Structures are given as C-alpha cells and as structure tokens.
C-alpha cells in the first residue's frame, strides 16, 4: 500500500509529460444531379443528392504516446447530409466512426463503431469509391460497411496488412435503410442475433497490391429492411467475399475486383458484382472511369453500369467535379444509377451530377 501511495504523484503527472494530439477534420461535398427513367412512366428528376463525389463528414481524432511502442487513440467521425444539414448513417451522431483503440507493437485493438474489413479490402482497387455513381449503387451495403458494438484488430507486418472484426450487435438504429436495420443484438435469449464478423488481408508493394475480404451479417426477429430477403431470423445471414487488386503505372492506377454475395433468407439468392476501373492524375486534374457488372445467379435480372468522374482542383482543399453514369437493366432488374432515386423495371438510366468539394 505504501508503494502505491508513493506512486500517486507520478501517475498524476503522466498526462503532462505524455505526447498527445487532437485533430479536427472534415469534408463537405454537394452538387446537383439529373437522373432519367426514375419510374415506370419514364420520368426524370433534377435534385440535390445527400452526397455526390465523396461523403461529407466532421471528425475528431486523437492519439497519446504511452511509450514502449504503445498509443491510445480515438476517432469520433460524424456523417451529415449537406443538402439538408441532417445526420447520416441512420441518424447517429457519430455514424461514420466512434471508437477507442490501443496501439501496440503487436497490432491495434479497437472498441466501438468501426469499419468492417470489407471496406479495407476494397479501398485501393475500387477507384470511384463512394462516388454517387459507383459500386454502392449496385450493392447498398458497400457504402455502409460499418458495425456497432464491435471488437476489432488490425496489424501490418512488412508488406502484409490484416484485420478482423466481431460485433455483438451490428446495427442499433431503427431509422431504416442499409445503415439502420434495427438489429441491435446483445440479448441473452438469442446469442446469434445481429452478430457480425469480418476478415481481411492485403499485400502491398510499390506499384501493386492484392487483397481479400470476408464479411458476414446475421439477422434477428424485428429486422424489416430488405423486403423478402430481409434477415428476419437469427439463422438468416448475408455474406460477402471480396477479391481485388490494383497496379500503378506512373500516375495511372488500374483496379479490378469481385464481390460474391450469398443471402440466406426467405428469398435466398446469390449475386456477383465485378468491377474494373482506372484513375489518372495530371496537374490539377484527375480522371476516373469504372465498369460494373451486377449478376443475380439463376436469374435474367442483371445490370451493367459505366461511371466516370472528372475533377479539377482549385487548391489542395477545394475541387470542382462532374460525374456521370449509364446503367443498363436487363429482365426485371430495377437497379438505379445512384442507388437511391428509383428506376422503372427493366429500364436504363442516365445520371449526371456536378458539384464542389471542400476539405478542411
């Protein structure tokens, strides 16, 4: 006891000598969009989408050096919709990220709302990323690969990075939509309900890289989002496997990938989403183009989409851009070029948007 009391002044002084820092950062991105054939009557619409080229956010992150190669870290990242000023990610205050972590020489251990490993496996190869016309239009989970109540681990050894997550209750919001499916979990009566787990591994060297990822979501009674394929029981699940890679040639990046999805529900199905794209940077200009193929197995209801974006950087922080997409729906497919506007069954769509982005 005497030794502990004698150590108290040293413990109190530690925050004063440890190195620490907090960063405030963000992106605000908004534009105006035109989409054709948004319903069976073939009508078009002009609107201001919630986000256009990159999702808007306001974040706070900090780190404290604990010595011995260890750090304490936190991230609080809010997602918002600049067209209305509303909260994104199902109305969460810090819906993009809300976690605390301990970094060690043996990896980082993360607690809280965080990205699924599917996000990290796609990060380098999907060149358009969260663009309004992109992979998220054909699979609404891709721009919502975050999970509540999660234990995560990430580490990198030489050129190889790997990680895992396990969620005790993956989605506590009941607001509806891909980011809010009312699957809170953490119940003693159903130990499988609303669990999630994911894995990823990535190998990077200068000039190229490859990655693999896996993500599995379990359902529970009360889940309603998803129609007949909703995960309404804890035995139902949605699983995605990603294999992707990229090559850099000077200022040119070529990316390619595949996501296989298996949905086990009242209307079980399998789908494939393949993509191939290129990005090029020269001076204040950047160009991206990507081709997507959506295939629902044992069904004629497939889609293809070509999307592109041109960005001009007025400064390091501010950019103007134009982006477009052309979607072909086959059979009774009703996928949409932006993932949210709606589409006539079996009808093709054109989407065009332009806007401004500022980073701070």
- Beta strands of the chain (E only): which ranges? 20-35, 45-47, 57-67, 70-81, 86-87, 97-104, 107-115, 146-157, 160-167, 196-205, 208-218, 237-249, 252-264, 269-282, 285-296, 303-313, 318-329, 349-359
Check if CATH label 1.10.3720.10 holds for domain 20-359. Answer: no
CB 126 within 8 A of CB 139: no
C-alpha closest to that of 131 among 252, 251, 281, 31? 31
Distance CA 103, CA 240 (A): 28
Backbone dihedral region of 189: left (phi > 0), alpha (psi from -120 to 50 degrees) or beta? alpha
- Domain layout of the chain by residue ranges: 20-359
Q: Reduce the DSSP state of residue 185 to 3 states and report it.
A: coil
Q: Reduce the DSSP state of residue 121 to 3 states and report it.
A: helix
C-alpha closest to that of 271 among 155, 110, 138, 172? 138
C-alpha closest to that of 30 among 73, 88, 69, 108? 88
Question: pLDDT tens, position by position, for the chain (360 residues)?
Answer: 444 334 333 333 344 444 578 999 999 999 999 999 999 999 999 999 998 999 999 999 999 999 999 999 999 999 999 999 999 999 999 999 999 999 999 999 999 999 999 999 999 999 999 999 999 999 999 999 999 999 999 999 999 999 999 999 999 999 988 889 999 999 999 999 999 999 999 999 999 999 999 999 999 998 888 888 899 999 999 999 999 999 999 999 999 999 999 999 999 999 999 999 999 999 999 999 999 999 999 999 999 999 999 999 999 999 999 999 999 999 999 999 999 999 999 999 999 999 999 999
Residue 112's DSSP bridge partners are 99, 150
Q: Any idea what DSSP says for residue 192? A: T
């Amino acid at each position: 006891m005497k030794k502990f009391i004698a150590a108290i002044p040293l413990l109190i002084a530690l925050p004063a000598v440890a190195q620490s820092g907090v960063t405030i950062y963000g992106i605000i991105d908004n534009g105006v969009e035109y989409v054709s054939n948004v319903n069976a009557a073939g009508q078009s619409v002009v609107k201001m989408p919630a986000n256009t080229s990159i999702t808007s956010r306001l974040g706070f992150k900090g780190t404290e050096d604990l010595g011995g190669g260890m750090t304490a870290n936190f991230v609080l990242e809010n997602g918002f919709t600049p067209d209305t000023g509303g909260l994104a990610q199902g109305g969460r205050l810090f819906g993009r990220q809300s976690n605390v972590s301990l970094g060690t020489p043996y990896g980082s251990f993360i607690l809280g709302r965080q990205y699924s490993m599917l996000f990290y496996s796609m990060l380098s190869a999907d060149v358009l990323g969260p663009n309004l016309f992109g992979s998220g239009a054909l699979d609404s989970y891709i721009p919502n690969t975050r999970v509540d109540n999660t234990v995560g681990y990430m580490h990198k050894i030489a050129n190889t990075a790997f990680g895992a997550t396990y969620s005790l209750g993956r989605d506590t919001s009941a607001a509806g939509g891909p980011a809010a499916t009312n699957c809170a979990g953490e119940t003693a009566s159903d130990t499988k309900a609303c669990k999630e787990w994911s894995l990823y591994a990535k190998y990077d060297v200068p000039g190229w890289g490859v990655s693999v990822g896996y993500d599995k979501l379990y359902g529970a009674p009360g889940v309603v989002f998803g129609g007949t394929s909703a995960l309404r029981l804890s035995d139902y699940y949605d699983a995605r496997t990603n294999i992707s890679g990229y090559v850099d040639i000077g200022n040119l990046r070529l990316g390619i990938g595949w996501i296989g999805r298996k949905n086990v529900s009242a209307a079980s199905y399998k789908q494939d989403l393949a993509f191939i794209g290129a990005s090029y940077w020269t001076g204040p200009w950047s160009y991206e183009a990507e081709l997507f193929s959506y295939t629902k197995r044992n069904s004629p209801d497939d889609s293809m989409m070509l999307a592109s974006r041109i960005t001009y950087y007025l400064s390091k922080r501010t950019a103007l851009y134009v982006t477009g997409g052309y979607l072909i729906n086959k059979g009774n497919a009703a996928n949409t070029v932006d993932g949210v506007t709606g589409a006539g069954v079996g009808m093709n769509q054109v989407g065009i948007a332009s806007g401004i982005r500022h980073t701070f």
